[in-house]
Structure 1
Amino acid sequence: MNLLIMGLPGAGKGTQASKIVDAFGVAHISTGDMFRAAMANQTEMGTLAKSFIDKGELVPDEVTNGIVKERLAENDIAEKGFLLDGYPRTIEQAFALDQTLSDLGIELDGVINIEVDPSCLLERLSGRIIHRETGETFHKVFNPPVGDYNEDDYYQREDDKPETVKRRLDVNIAQGEPIINHYREKGLVFDIEGNQDINDVFEDVKKVISSLNN
């Protein structure tokens, strides 16, 4: 079973990825893990990636694509299948992945797309507040401080402010839509309603994967 998982920040993609790996035994391939392993093992692409990172530069697509290809060529993929998480991030990377899978004789079975309305994600992601004195973290909606509280006693990190979160969501939407459309044209996309209980989301995910296994 060879899968991609996609979803906007805050949609619960990471949680569902962990559940899929635990339940179905596929190899979880995340970009961060791949980069760390390739650099630690001093593979050709890992060494090349490190040369850019050490200079504080972005790793070019061709190197990222090469690291993905190295990982997908490993023996455990043929035995267990994979869940690719965090890649492709651009339509160019999606085209490169198509070529990689073709070169390796691997077929992609499906794309699990965790869908949550962006306005709900904005509320989820921009609600975090931190107490100035204790450093305790709360959420304005989902985990507010007990009782009445003085907002002046709390602050938000720049990354958690609504305008920053909205920009991040807008970028992810702009990058993700062409990728989803690309795989939708291939009949590979399975949309999952993400704005429900985590376990209910996973029940829907399991139904999709079970149908692909039959």
Structure 2
Amino acid sequence: MAEADAEDAARPWPPPAGAYAEERGLFQLLQNMLEELLIHKPDDPIEFMINHLKQNNDDVMLYAPDTVLIERSGGKRLDPLTQEVFHTTFDWPSDPLVQQRLVKPEGLSEQEVSKKLLEYHRNFPEIFHIYQKVLKSINADQPSVDVLSQALAFVQTRHRSAAPFTPRVLFFGPPGSGKSLQAALIAQKYDVVNICCGQLLKEAVADNTKLGELVKPYIDSGCPVPDNLVLRLLTERLSALDCLTNGWVLSGFPRDVGQGEQLQKAQINPNRVFFFNLPHESIMERLSQRRTDPVTGERYHTTFRPAPTPEIQARLRQNPKDEEENIEKRLNIYYSNVKALEDFYQDAFYVNADQDPYVIFEFIESCIIKPLPCKTIRSV
């Protein structure tokens, strides 16, 4: 019985439950609750956690030297006419008439401020004990605008967590933008499942599965496979144990917003989306010069990877889809849908695909392993 319970605990959560937990920060919440219990060791953990959840525990502490605090307090001057406050050091008014009517506001004297600071330092250990999760300390001895900027930047950023994370990565890009290479690199390094929609369809046909039999006539005739068949195949594959456990990187689907909505209804929700951008001339150069050796199956490129011998060069063939006319057709289909897809996947990263592949990989990798900040568009 205990072994069965252990096996159940080790099983991955189904996609809807995992997505719900990630979107609402449940893993981070559980981690934080456990930390608080271990720190405080309350006699009544339930009551303690109820009170803890009612509080905001992401605290920011401002600090400045005592001399600065005394100077700030003692240098204040008040304009009794406008009630505007100035300071003898920081923002003394230039108008002599305003200077003449300034008075020292009622409040603590320098001696009284010093006394209050001594009292604060005596009580600081007890105060600090209450706020054991001070996540950021900011030096207040700088312009207030800078202090505010640092505080806002901290509280608006989601910070790294030890909570579990299963990558569900979606790649979009025109033909020749390098999606397949980047997917292979990500899959190799992080052991996620690399799924190319086109390849998945071919494998289903080759394996003579029931879905493969339905897909085969479309593959043989070169016609697009209906969305419902593609979606059934994808749902089946992405629900397999290796995808649920390790995560996945998908390219080739969806091709339009309608397909994206179908993925969403099927509870297939990526948590990282990338759009690859590549200039038209670079696409044509990459694709139109590709050649294949019909004897060995080896792929070459007339500029970047030419055939090693004249004999091999003579027998190279071009895939019809790499002819310029067909490349233009594929590009037109992609560009007619990409703007709507960008609007659909608003929290996406944009990749300059016209650079060294390993520079691109490092950027994609950094976006996968770090948490998403506030909703803004990011690019490299």
Instruction: Compute the TM-score of the two structures, normalised by the length of structure 2.
Output: 0.45
CA RMSD of aligned residues (A): 3.2
Per the alignment, residue 42 of structure 1 pairs with: 209
Per the alignment, residue 133 of structure 1 pairs with: none
Per the alignment, residue 98 of structure 1 pairs with: 264
Amino acid at match of 2:187: V
1:112 aligned counterpart, secondary structure: strand
Per the alignment, residue 70 of structure 2 pairs with: none
Per the alignment, residue 4 of structure 2 pairs with: none
Q: 1:8 aligns with which of 174, 198, 216?
A: 174
Structure 1 CA distance for aligned equivalents of residues 213 and 257 of structure 2: 25
Per the alignment, residue 118 of structure 1 pairs with: 280
Structure 2 CA distance for aligned equivalents of residues 112 and 8 of structure 1: 12
Per-residue CA deviation, residues 133-168 of structure 1 (Å, 9 max, x unaligned), is xxx9653x54679xxxxxxxx997754443432232
2:231 aligned counterpart, secondary structure: helix
Structure 2 CA distance for aligned equivalents of residues 127 and 55 of structure 1: 26
Residue 50 of structure 1: how far off its partner (Å): 3.2
Per the alignment, residue 196 of structure 1 pairs with: 355
Change (3 A) 1:37 1:159: closer
Gaps of 5+ in 2: 1-166, 293-298, 308-315, 374-380
Residue 192 of structure 1: how far off its partner (Å): 1.3
Structure 1 CA distance for aligned equivalents of residues 324 and 306 of structure 2: 17
Per-residue CA deviation, residues 21-57 of structure 1 (Å, 9 max, x unaligned), is 01111111111332244342624x3332235546775
Residue 209 of structure 1: how far off its partner (Å): 1.0
Higher RCO (Cα < 8 Å, 6 or more apart): 1
Structure 2 CA distance for aligned equivalents of residues 78 and 161 of structure 1: 39
Instruction: Tell me if structure 2 keeps the 8 A contact 1:109–1:212.
Output: no
Structure 2 CA distance for aligned equivalents of residues 38 and 160 of structure 1: 25
Residue 85 of structure 1: how far off its partner (Å): 1.4
Residue 95 of structure 1: how far off its partner (Å): 0.9
1:29 aligned counterpart, secondary structure: strand
Change (3 A) 1:212 1:86: farther
Residue 61 of structure 1: how far off its partner (Å): 1.1
Change (3 A) 1:10 1:79: same
Change (3 A) 1:175 1:35: same
Residue 178 of structure 1: how far off its partner (Å): 1.9
Identical-pair percentage: 29
Change (3 A) 1:70 1:121: same
Instruction: Tell me if structure 1 keeps the 8 A contact 2:300–2:306.
Output: no
Task: Count how many residue pairs are aligned between Structure 1 and Structure 2.
Answer: 194
Amino acid at match of 1:121: I
2:275 aligned counterpart, secondary structure: strand
Q: Which aligned pairs between 1:10-159 and structure 2 lie closer than 5 A?
A: 10-39=176-205, 40=207, 42-43=209-210, 45-50=211-216, 52-53=218-219, 58-101=224-267, 107-127=269-289, 139=302, 142=304, 159=321
Task: Say yes or no: does 1:168 pair with 2:334.
Answer: no
Change (3 A) 1:61 1:80: same
2:195 aligned counterpart, secondary structure: strand
Residue 114 of structure 1: how far off its partner (Å): 1.8
Task: Say yes or no: does 1:177 pair with 2:344.
Answer: no
Change (3 A) 1:159 1:48: closer
1:196 aligned counterpart, secondary structure: coil
Instruction: Tell me if structure 2 keeps the 8 A contact 1:8–1:172.
Output: yes
Change (3 A) 1:54 1:195: closer
Per the alignment, residue 148 of structure 1 pairs with: none
Amino acid at match of 1:200: V
2:225 aligned counterpart, secondary structure: coil
Amino acid at match of 1:190: F
Identify the range of structure 1 (168-177 vs 199-208) with the bigger mean alpha-carbon deviation: 168-177
